[in-house]
């Protein structure tokens, strides 16, 4: 991305984020989509700086809902994935705590996503003694998410990636095929377009 264009986008994103905060979680989700899937470099860094503040506000709210904790965790885990290295571990740990808090809310609309997010987190974070990542736990979380009714493109692509990385090609194929039945969400078109692109890449890895 052109550096000047990236800087302008970052400024617009930061300003619009402040104005839209009163719109609540929906705007936070939209801003996360933009940051995670369309920005890079300095623009992405500025966007995530704002989102991390929002994540802290979400979890710090005395009346925080399971969905609030879920999205606080998604922001933290996404940022950890972007920066990588040892500096990412604190954000990964915070994401783990947020997802566990989301689960404790026992919201049936949030539980599948929280389980899938924990599976994804455990599959990507290094294991002991560096981090808390655990392949067995990752597999169990993905299985539990599936049992709980997870059926979004996000879930299918996260689980398919894990299955491919573990050589579980039959499972990966089944997940990719199941994802073909999912209708893209009008309100999440950026995320779903990115997931559909991932699906194409994952089909390629099966050959």
Residue 77 lies in a domain: no
Tell me whether residue 73 is in a domain.
no
CA distance 147 to 91: 28
For every residue of 126-191, DSSP letters joined together read --TTT----HHHHHHHHHHHHHTT--SHHHHHHHHHHHHHTT-HHHHHHHHHHHTTPPPPGGGHHH
Residue that wins the pLDDT comparison between 9 and 97? 97
Report yes or no on 118 lying in a domain. Answer: yes
Question: If you average pLDDT over residues 95-119, what whole number do you get?
Answer: 98
pLDDT of residue 176 exceeding 90, the answer is yes
Q: Are residues 173 and 157 in the same domain?
A: yes
Q: Comparing 7-16, 49-58, 113-122, 194-203, which segment has the lowest mean pLDDT?
A: 7-16
Q: How confident is the model at residue 24 (pLDDT cuts 50, 70, 90)?
A: confident
Residues 136 and 193 in one domain: no
| Host domain of residue 130 | 84-150
145 part of a folded domain: yes
Number of domains in the chain: 3
Q: Are 136 and 160 members of one domain?
A: no
Residue 32 pLDDT > 50, yes or no? yes
Do 139 and 190 fall into the same domain? no
- Is pLDDT at 108 greater than 50 in this prediction? yes
CA proximity to 194, closest of 13, 59, 57, 34? 34
* 156 in the same domain as 176: yes
Domain for residue 104, yes or no? yes
Q: What is the pLDDT of residue 19?
A: 35
Query: In this predicted model, what pLDDT tens digit does every residue of 142-170 receive, in sequence order?
Result: 999 999 999 999 999 999 999 999 999 99
**Rounded CA separation 46/82 (Å):** 13
Whether 99 and 121 have beta carbons less than 8 Å apart is answered as yes
Residue 29 forms part of a structural domain: yes
Q: Which of 18, 45, 60 lies at the terminal end of a domain, its last residue?
A: 60
Decide which of 150, 166, 199 is a domain's last residue.
Answer: 150
Rg (CA), the chain: 17
Label residue 207 by pLDDT band (50, 70, 90). Answer: confident
Residue 124 falls within a domain, yes or no?
Answer: yes
- Looking at the structure, do residues 167 and 195 belong to the same domain, yes or no? yes
Same domain, 52 and 4: yes
- Indicate whether 1 pLDDT > 60: no
Proportion of the chain above pLDDT 90, given as a percent = 87
Answer yes or no: is pLDDT of 23 > 60: no
Helix axes 25-37, 41-60, angle to 10 degrees: 150
Q: Is the pLDDT of residue 107 over 80?
A: yes
Residue 96 scores a pLDDT above 90 = yes
């Amino acid at each position: 991305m052109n550096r000047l264009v990236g800087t302008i986008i970052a400024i617009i994103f930061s300003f619009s984020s402040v104005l839209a905060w009163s719109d609540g979680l929906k705007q936070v989700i939209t801003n996360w989509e933009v940051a995670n899937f369309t920005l890079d470099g300095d623009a992405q860094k500025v966007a995530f700086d704002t989102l991390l503040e929002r994540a802290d506000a979400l979890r710090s709210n005395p009346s925080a809902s399971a969905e609030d904790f879920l999205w606080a965790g998604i922001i933290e885990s996404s940022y950890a994935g972007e920066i990588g290295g040892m500096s990412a571990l604190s954000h990964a740990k915070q994401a783990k705590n947020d997802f566990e808090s989301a689960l404790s809310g026992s919201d049936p609309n949030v539980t599948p996503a929280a389980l899938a997010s924990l599976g994804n987190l455990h599959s990507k974070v290094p294991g002991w003694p560096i981090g808390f990542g655990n392949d067995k736990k990752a597999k169990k979380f993905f299985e539990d998410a599936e049992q709980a009714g997870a059926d979004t493109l996000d879930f299918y692509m996260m689980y398919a990636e894990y299955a491919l990385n573990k050589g579980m090609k039959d499972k990966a194929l089944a997940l990719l095929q199941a994802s073909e039945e999912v209708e893209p969400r009008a309100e999440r078109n950026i995320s779903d377009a990115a997931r559909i692109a991932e699906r194409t890449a994952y089909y390629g890895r099966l050959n």
